[in-house]
Every structure is written in C-alpha cells, then in structure tokens.
Structure 1
Amino acid sequence: MTKKYLYTIHVCYRKDFVTYAETCFQKFGDRVKHWITFNEPHTFSTQGYDVGLHAPGRCSILLHLFCKEGNSSTEPYIVAHNVLLTHAAVADIYRKKYKNTQGGSLGIAFDVIWYEPATNTQEDIEAAQRAQDFQLGCSMRSRVGNRLPKFTPSEAALVKGSLDFVGINHYTTFYARNSTTNLIGTLLHDSIADSGAITLPFNGTKAIAERANSIWLYIVPQSMRTLMNYVKQKYGNPPVYVTENGMDDANSIFISKKDALKDEKRIRYYSGYLSYLLAAI
C-alpha cells in the first residue's frame, strides 16, 4: 500500500479514498450523521514523514540516519496539502449526492496542543503564535517558501467551506520560546523546525503543571477554554466537537486496587477540562 500511494500524494490515493468514503456513505449513511475524514493530520504528516516514527517511516533528518527514504523538509507539507484536497473532494461528493437525504456533516479532527509564551517578550509571544499556526492554522509561506505546495484556484474553491465542523483533540499545553539561532532547524532541515519556536512543557526547570503518565501530557485544564475561544475568534465561530481528551495514569504496584479504582487524578482532570469547556460555551 505504501508503495502504491508513495506518501499520500499520488492521484490514486485521492481517487481511492473518495471511493472508500462513498462506500461508507452508501452503507452507513442512514445511521451515521457525523463523519471525520481524517484524524490528526498534523501528527501523521510530521511523525510519518518528518521524523519517521510512525508509518510509513519516511524522513531525511541527519542524512537519512533513521530512514532510508524521505524528505523531512517537503513531504510533511505535501501530505497535509493532499489531506485537505482529499477531504474537500469527499465533502463535495457528499454534498452533491448524499447530504439532502442523509442529513450528515463532515469534518476533520485536529490534534491541538495549546502554546503559552515562555516569557512576556514579543519574541516569545510571536513564537507561541507561530507554533499554534504550524499545528492548527496554515503554515506560513514566508517561513517555508517554495517548499509549501500551492493550490490552484479551483482547488482553493473546493477546499473553502468544506468543513461542516471542526474536531479538536486537546490534551495538554506547552511553553513556546523563540528559537534565536534555529540551530536544530539548521541541523535537521525539517518541517518541525520551520516555526522557529522551541516548544517544551518546561520553562527552565519548572514544569508547566502536574504530569500524567505520558512524558508529554501535562494537566492544564484552563487551556481548554483558551483554545475554544481562540478557535471561535480566529476561525469565525465554526461548530466544534471535542473529539479527544483524557489522560493516562501510572500503573503503580504501591497503590491498592481500592485506591486505584477511586481514580481521583483522572476525576480532577476531567472535572477541570469540562468545567473550562463549559465556561467557553
């Protein structure tokens, strides 16, 4: 499959995905009313084509030390570009052939870390905004240049308005600091460094908040409200569904089953995030 579709840019991929989606509409459209065409495109485009940790394992960082094939500076953008075009093609088919009778809606579920400036300096404030744009917004041509694929006028028209709703997968918050030298970007020459921001859950030696079990998951519930308000103001108040949220906890042999079943940390997590979500409505 990887050889056939290369890195999800081949025309066969888009054509076959539309066929697959239309089959789903035909078989399940009488019952399914909310469709997500892609889940976390930012994750699979960077993890699969920049650092090569996820399938199909393509990258070029450190002179192909970790991957035999790939281009970390271009392929993540090509993949993201094709995801938008494929979603738009599916949405176009659905609206023309199925929406009137099935009454469903289509969206994409985006993975979104919220970024807070590490300091109050203008440089870090701008770095936090760039980090947000490179994850949820549009990667800026001024920083990526001709490595960023272009849409034809007809493609742009197809993509515009193709989301009936926005899915948000939100778990955690990081600090963002301006990368003054962009040394990592110079060494790796990859898309992740293009934002010119260093993003970490630490500011110096101080963690941003209490940590769950995963090394990247810190519990910052107030960011749920901040993020929801940001999406509302930045993108014209689209319908939003929180499609993923939660935390993992350590499996400690020192905690009794009775105490573990109380699940107090997870209760605090959900209580906090849901309270701030409610405040954003």
Structure 2
Amino acid sequence: MKDMGMDAYRFSISWTRIFPNGTGQINQAGIDHYHSLIDALLSKGIEPYVTLHWDLPQALQNGFLNPQIIQDYATYIETCFQNFGDRVKHWITFNEPHTVATQAYDLGVHAPGSQNRMDQLGPHLMLCGMNQKQTPQKTLKQLKEPKIFSLADYPSSKKSKVGSRLPTFNKSEATLIKGSLDFVGINQYTTYFSRSNAAGGVSGDDYLSDDDFFNCWLLTEDDLCLVSTFTKDGRPIGDHGMRKLMNYIKQKYSNPPVFITENGMDDPNNQFISLQDALNEG
C-alpha cells in the first residue's frame, strides 16, 4: 500500500475476535492482532480508518431484535476505543445499518434470514452506533452540523406510506439520535436505472413495497441504448451515479463532510482473472 502511495486504509474490527462469545472474557490475541496491524500502518504513514461491524458472534445471533444488544454493542465498541483510540482517529461506529436491516431482517437474503422484522430492529441499529459515552475523538464535530438526524424523526412522506409499522423512538432515544451524525460515508458500486411502471406491481408490508420498488421497472442495457463496459445483470455501471448522489447529499443536507468509504466496479463473472494476472506477472 505504501508503494502505491496510499495514505489511508479502512478495515473492520471483528466482534468475534474481541469477544468470541459476544460478551464476557476479552480475547487478548485478537486485541494484539489489531495492535500489530495499526502499528504497521502508522509506521508506513498510512492512517487507519476503523469500521465497527454488524457481523454478530454466533452466541448473539438474532440479537439485533433484542434491546439488550445495545449494551452488548456498547461494550464491544468501548473496548475498541480503549485499546486503539490512542492511535485511531477515525471511527465508523456501525457499518451499513441500511443493508443489515433490509437484507437480513426484512427481505431475508442475508444471515440470519429473517423477514418482516424491521419494526423490531430499526431503533436498536440506530442506537447501537451511538454510545451514551463520548468516543475518544469526535473528529468532525467542529464542522457545521448537518441536518441529517437533526429532527430524530421520519419524513412526512414515509409516515404516510408506512404508518404504524415505522419503528418508534422514545424521548430519550430521540434526544440521543438528534444531531448525532458527524459525516456521511458513501458505498457505491453500481447505479440502478428505472422508468415508471404504470401498471404498478405486487405490494406488501416490506422494504421494497415501502420504497415503491414495484412502481418502477429496472432498465436493461437495451432500454438505454448505451455502450457500457462491464455490466451487472445487463445494466450499465452508471458511473455518474456517485456524482449525482454526492451533489444530492450536499444540497439536501447542508453540505456535510463526505467520505467514499467503499467503491468498486462490476467485472466479468470470472473469479480467476486476478489470479491469472498475478501468475502472468510472476
């Protein structure tokens, strides 16, 4: 990474490596592993950006449906802060809450495969990433506070669409969430193209219906008459999608700090390409 000129590296700290059973006894070998990684990065002039992840230890599986997970998660992240906070200045306190909520607990396509459980899950995910105690470094708080989460409430359009199925927050939880966002992290791999589906489609009490997914068609390459490089399921990558998203965030939320936390592109479906390249170069 140093030879490539990289000056930052984002990685996640596995909960299971720190607490193999989810709670209780700390695994010192796991702590030592991350000490070594962080020290090695800093010795090469590479700044560590740490993500605290939602990959639950098996002992806590399905735990995100239980409010006790908030305290368990707080213990995990506080342990990370205490051990690594003297050298790690940038923290992402919960990875992709949207993904784990929709894919794992509503659509059921990710582990643990639960469906239609977001009404129980939502508040727990939001609160997991916000420990009541101050984190070691509030790195971007000195910048103008963005509007995101400033009201600790849902848009009126979402209330009208979803109604009583929206997860609720009590007064103290809403106070904790209000104004809590330090920056926006964008994970971008591809862009969806769509057009109106006048006939509508199947609807139900789930994430896809709530977002009007069935009121549009996903376009294919033929619909767009575009020449693309690699595509996913016949759809162009849509490299302009990131710029449009960043401009939307800037204009909608008073220009908050933004990091590109994940970025990639679709490649032909051949997992051996990188191996073959390495063999050729070797």
TM-score (norm 1): 0.62
Equivalent of residue 84 in structure 1, options 119, 123, 126? 126
* Number of corresponding residues: 209
Q: Which amino acid aligns with 1:246?
A: G
The aligned residue for residue 66 of structure 2 is 10
- C-alpha distance in structure 1 between counterparts of 2:123 and 2:221, whole Å: 33
- C-alpha distance in structure 2 between counterparts of 1:216 and 1:248, whole Å: 11
Equivalent of residue 189 in structure 2, options 142, 166, 171? 171
Q: Which amino acid aligns with 1:46?
A: T
Structure 1's 201 and 209: CA in aligned 2 closer, same or farther, altered over 3 A?
Answer: farther
- C-alpha distance in structure 1 between counterparts of 2:82 and 2:233, whole Å: 42
> What is the CA-CA distance between 1:219 and the residue it aligns to?
2.1
Which one is further off, 36-45 or 140-149? Answer: 36-45
1:235 aligned to 2:275?
Answer: no
Structure 1's 190 and 253: CA in aligned 2 closer, same or farther, altered over 3 A?
Answer: closer
Q: Which amino acid aligns with 2:128?
A: T
The aligned residue for residue 88 of structure 2 is 32
The aligned residue for residue 129 of structure 1 is none
Structure 1's 105 and 13: CA in aligned 2 closer, same or farther, altered over 3 A?
Answer: farther
Structure 1's 230 and 253: CA in aligned 2 closer, same or farther, altered over 3 A?
Answer: closer
The aligned residue for residue 190 of structure 1 is 206
In the TM superposition, what whole-angstrom CA distance separates every residue of 1:169-193 from its partner, at most 9, and x where no partner exists? 012221234454543214xx42211
Structure 1's 249 and 175: CA in aligned 2 closer, same or farther, altered over 3 A?
Answer: closer
The aligned residue for residue 120 of structure 1 is none
Normalized per residue, which structure has more helix? 1
Aligned-residue Cα RMSD (Å) equals 3.6
Give runs of aligned pairs for residues 43-192 of structure 1, distance below 5 A.
Answer: 43-59=99-115, 72=116, 75-88=117-130, 90=131, 92-95=132-135, 98-99=136-137, 104=139, 140-180=158-198, 182-186=200-204, 189-192=205-208
Which is bigger in relative contact order (C-alpha 8 A, separation at least 6)?
1
> What is the CA-CA distance between 1:105 and the residue it aligns to?
5.6
Structure 1's 248 and 85: CA in aligned 2 closer, same or farther, altered over 3 A?
Answer: same
1:212 aligned to 2:230?
Answer: yes
- C-alpha distance in structure 2 between counterparts of 1:222 and 1:240, whole Å: 17
4+ residue runs over 6 A deviation: none
Q: Percent identity?
A: 42
Structure 1's 25 and 141: CA in aligned 2 closer, same or farther, altered over 3 A?
Answer: same
In the TM superposition, what whole-angstrom CA distance separates every residue of 1:94-130 from its partner, at most 9, and x where no partner exists? 24xx33xxx6469xxxxxxxxxxxxxxxxxxxxxxxx
The aligned residue for residue 265 of structure 1 is none
Structure 1's 164 and 147: CA in aligned 2 closer, same or farther, altered over 3 A?
Answer: same
- C-alpha distance in structure 2 between counterparts of 1:252 and 1:22, whole Å: 38
Assess if the C-alpha contact under 8 Å between 2:65 and 2:124 holds in 1.
yes
> What is the CA-CA distance between 1:225 and the residue it aligns to?
1.7
Q: Which amino acid aligns with 1:191?
A: Y
Structure 1's 196 and 28: CA in aligned 2 closer, same or farther, altered over 3 A?
Answer: same
Assess if the C-alpha contact under 8 Å between 1:217 and 1:247 holds in 2.
no
> What is the CA-CA distance between 1:14 and the residue it aligns to?
0.5
1:222 aligned to 2:240?
Answer: yes
Assess if the C-alpha contact under 8 Å between 2:101 and 2:122 holds in 1.
yes
Equivalent of residue 218 in structure 2, options 191, 200, 208? 200
